[in-house]
Amino acid sequence: MLRSMFSAISGLRGHQIMMDVIGNNIANVNTVGFKSGRVNFQDILSQTLHGATAPSGGLGSINPAQIGLGMTVAGIDVLQTQGNLQSTGKTTDMAIQGDAFFIESDGSSVSYTRDGAFDIALDGSLANPASGLKVQGWQANAAGAIDITQPITNLTIPIGQRTTALETSHVTLSGNLDAGATAAVVGPPAVAATTVPTTMTVFDSLGIAHSVKVTFTKTGANAWSWLATKDPADTGITITPAAGVNQGTLNYTTGGVFSASTGTLSFVFPDGATSSTPAIDFTQMSQFSGTSQPTGQTDGFTSGTLVTFAVGNAGELSGVYSNGQTQVLGQIALANFLNSAGLLRAGQNNFSATSASGAANIGTAGTGGRGTVMTGALEMSNVDLATQFTGMITAERGFQANGRVITTSDEMLQELVNLKR
């Protein structure tokens, strides 16, 4: 039998595999995060008719004479190139810009994916709704701190979870007091002192808000007194010293810069909350000529529930609560590999680590060569239809040409058989 026939058969098989890979690429042209494949061919064993000889006498060297016995598939590579990003506007949709993979787990095994079409499961965990696999990362503690040295775990976004209230522990008064204000004059004629009020909100340990009015009164050159009073309708707070008694004083330099202050402020809450004596800061108050515009700011907040969240470029999950507060909920973990082309396709847009890919290097986005996380977007397939159609033509012609070799070899054998007739 002719060697050409068997070589052509290997060519048919190889180009059939090439067409299989192209068909799979085209089938997944709209698959989120899909990475296209590429076939590489190589020749196989060659039959040596005669070997090579070195120059001798007046003769030069003689090259070896070999006949190839066909081809085989050397490998099918996964092209881990970046796909284009498609904006979706959905908060739980995420895409990686750069090199890295999301980490998913079913509780017993771990897989890696570029498909960031996530959603919040019934138990509050961030998961892939198509497979049920849960996204891995680091969960923040109650204070919003994250320890990435700990093992990764399922990420939870507890929508509707209520936070504890924070009582006011610090009061900051800022703004300006008019240097041209007048102090009280006994008279005659009597002149009333200039008073400037501002209102601030104080929170008790139960998260109940109380309105407190602070009134500044000009008492002399570069000197003011201050007095805190409650809303008469608020029976849930008592201020000490009692109303009508100046809690303290403010003094300024001749340049209108804050110099010193005196006085303290304490709150008693009959509603069952603990009493508090917040620190008071007057250092940001000035005394220059112009309109008096003091403002009061306090820390603390009432209890709130988690209503939504946002994802940063570093993969951090930040919760937004109904009381206007934000707090870090967790950090998405990303993995990269020394040889990402060595990963094994595991179905459902997932990959598994192999001895060729090496172990996963787990860390945060933007570090260690890992890309950044884009929220509200998905990574599209990196299949290039123009390249695939060109490859389809090449595979078809290669298959066709090998078929012609087989038919021609058959005709040659037919001629050989006809010699007997």
Summarize pLDDT for 175-186 with one digit per residue, the tens. Answer: 999 998 998 887
What pLDDT does residue 246 have?
63
What pLDDT does residue 242 have?
60
Model pLDDT for residues 223-273, shown as the tens digit of each residue: 999 998 888 888 878 887 665 566 789 999 988 899 999 988 888 887 778
Q: Comparing C-alpha atoms, which of 170, 194, 137 is closest to residue 276? A: 170
Average pLDDT over residues 3-12: 89
Domain ranges of the chain: 3-52+62-80+382-418, 86-155+337-378, 170-298
Contact indicator for 26, 417 with CB cutoff of 8 Å: no
Average pLDDT over residues 205-223: 91
Integer CA distances (angstroms), 234 to 33, 165, 197, 212, 231, in order: 58, 19, 18, 10, 5
Instruction: Tell me which of 10-14, 122-126, 129-133, 142-146 is least confident.
Output: 142-146
CATH 3.40.1390.10: does it fit domain 170-298? no
Q: Categorize the per-residue pLDDT at 421 as very low, low, confident or very high, splitting at 50, 70 and 90.
A: low
What pLDDT does residue 344 have?
95
Asked if the model's pLDDT at residue 409 lies above 70, the reply is: yes
Q: Categorize the per-residue pLDDT at 143 as very low, low, confident or very high, splitting at 50, 70 and 90.
A: confident
What pLDDT does residue 164 have?
81
Model pLDDT for residues 154-196, shown as the tens digit of each residue: 999 988 888 888 889 999 999 999 998 998 887 778 788 899 9
Average pLDDT over residues 11-22: 95
d(CA 22, CA 27): 9
Instruction: Specify burial of residue 355 (Cβ count, 10 A radius: 0-12, 13-18, 19+).
Output: exposed
Contact indicator for 153, 301 with CB cutoff of 8 Å: no
Asked if the model's pLDDT at residue 1 lies above 80, the reply is: no
Q: Categorize the per-residue pLDDT at 48 as very low, low, confident or very high, splitting at 50, 70 and 90.
A: confident
List CB contacts of 230: < 8 A, sequence separation 6 or more. 210, 211, 212, 213, 237, 238, 239, 243
Average pLDDT over residues 336-355: 94
Its pTM stands at 0.76
What pLDDT does residue 390 have?
96
Contact indicator for 172, 153 with CB cutoff of 8 Å: no
d(CA 306, CA 138): 19
Q: Comparing C-alpha atoms, which of 61, 63, 39, 69 is closest to residue 50? A: 63
Asked if the model's pLDDT at residue 375 lies above 70, the reply is: yes
| Rama region for 369: left / alpha / beta (φ>0; ψ in -120 to 50; rest) | left
Strands 170-176 and 279-286: parallel
The alpha carbon dihedral of 237, 213, 303, 170 has a sign of negative
Average pLDDT over residues 277-294: 92
Average pLDDT over residues 200-205: 91
Asked if the model's pLDDT at residue 345 lies above 70, the reply is: yes
d(CA 419, CA 421): 6
Average pLDDT over residues 292-309: 90
